Structure 1
């Protein structure tokens, strides 16, 4: 049988709306710091304003819902507002490696067909050659200075945020980001991720933002409740923002309210200085970085007392290497496993795990191991191929099914705490007919939806569903009603 990490209730909201709500809540706190540029930084409030200006600018250039916009640049602060800005215009983000050769970029762009691109000065000549070969790519905007093409900060300074028009997004269906797979079995392939994919992965407390005894964090409400966060957390990141992991980190850390201190390249001495200077609490690494950290000399010269955790993904870490780095730096080391197609960390170590194990399955993920030839599930001690799928539950999906029942007047679904699964879906139902029973509500759900979406949190009858003036369910209040 497949292993299920537990149900995950996913709010029916677009990724940029979730981010914009969080940016307003976090206000003037510093969000991102570019350690490669003498500590240049940007606040959540500035990201909010710049991203909305970016969205308005794109709309003024004729960008429509579903158009694709690319970003090709080394790590820079501009990613932080370009990603939500592109999404807010209704368009789709496709990041591009600025160090690729024209042929490599053409392979990617002939699949994604971007209409416009934000490009760094360093990559401009390459992108000009690509543009000449690609009729769909109509416009380049330069991150930096240019006498030939529009400069990003100049066009944004002339853009009025008030002109931004809201675009209707269907989170479970509309694509937010097109990223490239690693290409380990052939040419890189385009992977299209929906808004819901990214929202699902970012309503969790991320492994790189907070210590906890197990992955059972509650779903953060996105209506009016401020998400749980630790404003003193700071993450060190060196992963390229044009890579799938980089996009996930930009979005995830911004949503979590964790300050991100990033660099454009890795040097172990430079990293240690940065960790000390910015009081970094968690470092996001890949195995070669971990090896350099283990072998680094003179570590005692740096004040690394704030560093409590190192997260590592990309390849397997030997147990001996894990032990050595934990002893040397007196930190927890958390190996993580994911894949481009998942958009979410699938498996991660938690405190108390055997360091030789692969860790625990994340909520919202279902996993099984199958034989490579027969595709049948493997038994214990057998080798096979990992298959992963989402086990996410959308409150809106459950609500739409329950509302089909003729005896139901209104309904709201929330997650309630569960020790084993993290959360279970519970329906709060307003009766139209006083004879309606909880068994009838369970039955209609079971008839229409797969097993893991069933109402294992139960059914509760209420007089009304709390809603805002705009008619949106106030899920923070609904959750209180469900758990009282």
Structure 2
């Protein structure tokens, strides 16, 4: 771990990075792939399809050559709309290599969300998986700036087949873009939209390069990594590229399926898991988990939401050789991690130390004064990983007077420099004079043996302001009642944190692709006559 300094309530991560003068992450990535030669780079856990590091690098350069002939130029925006698959990564890195800009359109988007995000980035070219073509082709063709579509596979359509782009061209040559030391936009990512419509965040090649060096402090290339995080979000794509830069074998799935997930761990003897907290909770409480050999798993990485200490204890009881469950904290605007917990220095419940290339302070929400150890406030960040702003949006109130980006997250650090995340400012429930953390209540509700999943919000109330309300997914066969859960929670929390808004039973908790609870979707389930009372 690099040296972390702390002065006047501000933490400074290390910043000694060997930045290449061309500042092209795509070129740097391909160069690194070639060092790992014929080792297996990627395995599709669903199909068994795999690709070596050498072949992955070769296909990236071939696709970059083909894209250049199709008219893709430096600065052009290229969209990718697909589930996780090997072609996804090839298309993404080939775009970087040319100096064009990637953007990811989530295949799970609704028509309106697809139009909204593509209107932000205005792509000229698009890669589609066959599934994305069936779902979204008409919308993208009729409502966006896209002029050429490339479909993964050798498809019998009027569109361009991806397989043709990967062929060797003896007469073709492509030179990776050289930015001559300048930080250029590489990727447009969309904020998760937990509290509103997504915004387009501009991620630079420099951001990506620095983020890779954050991960190089704890490599263990002998252990394969299993990920189900969608590559269209920050956690998914950054973990994937970081692992490949280190030379790991990455096993991936397009979505979480409990039985398949467990089968893949057993089949490929997976050593490390990357998994969002809600999915990890579901997995750990599953009756199927005892039927599989999970002895190969030694490390679990969790991110996207706070993970309660009791849940970590439960997880450790399910994996016989598990050393640690490490947590990280980050966001799209910081190209991934702000803090990360090292396997060599864990502290249960924390999200670790600040990452390299970043500066962090915790400030009082009202006075904006930097706070000391164990004082809760808003986390603010700046540094080499900080994004280059939102498309079409002025800096405004997103930054403070010292240039720190205001994350909107509430947290604190202890005397040793470990950070802890409490909740988001906008998600805190305001009950009378008290602030109640939804994440804290969710952790308590999940301790009930009959609960499979839960999301907590505040229900508007004319007297109290908001009442803590839980939306609960029961375990199959359970007959737990609203009263049972309310009484269970009341024995474990302070009076102002009780579920005074009641318990609503639903079939599924709405979440983003990275596993964050979409509380605005839960708020839509509150009757309008109740919401209008606020």
Q: TM-score range by the shorter chain?
A: 0.7 to 0.9
The residue aligned with 2:71 is 62
The residue aligned with 2:346 is 353
Shift of 1:392: 7.2
User: In structure 2, how many angstroms separate the alpha carbons of the residues matched to 1:312 and 1:322?
Assistant: 10
Q: Are 2:234 and 2:336, in contact at CA under 8 Å, matched by a contact in 1?
A: no
Out of 262, 266, 275, the residue aligned to residue 272 of structure 1 is: 262
User: In structure 1, how many angstroms separate the alpha carbons of the residues matched to 2:177 and 2:384?
Assistant: 28
Out of 217, 226, 235, the residue aligned to residue 236 of structure 1 is: 226
Mapped pair 1:282 → 2:272: yes
User: In structure 1, how many angstroms separate the alpha carbons of the residues matched to 2:138 and 2:175?
Assistant: 31
Mapped pair 1:53 → 2:59: no
Higher relative contact order (CA 8 A, sep 6+): 1
User: In structure 2, how many angstroms separate the alpha carbons of the residues matched to 1:249 and 1:81?
Assistant: 16
User: In structure 2, how many angstroms separate the alpha carbons of the residues matched to 1:182 and 1:2?
Assistant: 27
The residue aligned with 1:164 is 174
Mapped pair 1:200 → 2:210: yes
User: In structure 2, how many angstroms separate the alpha carbons of the residues matched to 1:166 and 1:311?
Assistant: 33
User: In structure 2, how many angstroms separate the alpha carbons of the residues matched to 1:25 and 1:109?
Assistant: 36
User: In structure 1, how many angstroms separate the alpha carbons of the residues matched to 2:221 and 2:370?
Assistant: 44
Mapped pair 1:140 → 2:149: yes
Check 1:95–1:35 CA distance in 2 against 1; reply closer, same or farther (3 A cut). same
Check 1:158–1:43 CA distance in 2 against 1; reply closer, same or farther (3 A cut). closer
User: In structure 1, how many angstroms separate the alpha carbons of the residues matched to 2:346 and 2:171?
Assistant: 49
Mapped pair 1:376 → 2:358: no
The residue aligned with 2:44 is 34
User: In structure 1, how many angstroms separate the alpha carbons of the residues matched to 2:233 and 2:185?
Assistant: 17
Q: Are 1:349 and 1:360, in contact at CA under 8 Å, matched by a contact in 2?
A: yes
Q: Are 1:10 and 1:196, in contact at CA under 8 Å, matched by a contact in 2?
A: no
Check 1:137–1:321 CA distance in 2 against 1; reply closer, same or farther (3 A cut). same
TM-score, structure 1 length as denominator? 0.73
- After TM superposition, which residue ranges in structure 1, 4 or more long, deviate above 4 angstroms? 158-161
Shift of 1:172: 4.5
User: Which runs of 5 or more structure 2 residues have no equivalent in the other structure?
Assistant: 1-8, 387-415, 418-534
User: In structure 2, how many angstroms separate the alpha carbons of the residues matched to 1:299 and 1:247?
Assistant: 27
User: In structure 1, how many angstroms separate the alpha carbons of the residues matched to 2:53 and 2:131?
Assistant: 27
TM-score, structure 2 length as denominator? 0.66
The residue aligned with 1:5 is 13
Match of 1:315, SS? coil
Check 1:74–1:392 CA distance in 2 against 1; reply closer, same or farther (3 A cut). closer
Q: Are 2:227 and 2:274, in contact at CA under 8 Å, matched by a contact in 1?
A: yes
User: In structure 1, how many angstroms separate the alpha carbons of the residues matched to 2:139 and 2:80?
Assistant: 16
Deviations 1:327-354 (A, max 9, x none): 3214110011110011132212234433
Deviations 1:398-452 (A, max 9, x none): xxxxxxxxxxxxxxxxxxxxxx99xxxxxxxxxxxxxxxxxxxxxxxxxxxxxxx
Q: Are 2:115 and 2:139, in contact at CA under 8 Å, matched by a contact in 1?
A: no
User: In structure 1, how many angstroms separate the alpha carbons of the residues matched to 2:165 and 2:288?
Assistant: 47
Shift of 1:96: 0.9
Structure 1 residues 19-418: aligned runs within 5 Å:
19-37=29-47, 39-125=48-134, 126-134=136-144, 136-144=145-153, 145-157=155-167, 159-160=169-170, 162-170=172-180, 172-205=182-215, 230-329=220-319, 330-331=321-322, 332-350=324-342, 351-390=344-383
Q: Are 2:129 and 2:151, in contact at CA under 8 Å, matched by a contact in 1?
A: yes
User: In structure 1, how many angstroms separate the alpha carbons of the residues matched to 2:27 and 2:161?
Assistant: 26
Check 1:291–1:176 CA distance in 2 against 1; reply closer, same or farther (3 A cut). same
Worse overlay, 173-182 or 341-350: 341-350
Worse overlay, 151-160 or 284-293: 151-160
Check 1:391–1:140 CA distance in 2 against 1; reply closer, same or farther (3 A cut). closer
User: Which runs of 5 or more structure 1 residues have no equivalent in the other structure?
Assistant: 207-215, 218-228, 394-419, 422-484
Q: Are 2:225 and 2:249, in contact at CA under 8 Å, matched by a contact in 1?
A: yes
Shift of 1:369: 1.1
Match of 2:237, SS? helix
User: In structure 2, how many angstroms separate the alpha carbons of the residues matched to 1:236 and 1:113?
Assistant: 33
How many residues align? The count is: 373
Check 1:160–1:114 CA distance in 2 against 1; reply closer, same or farther (3 A cut). farther
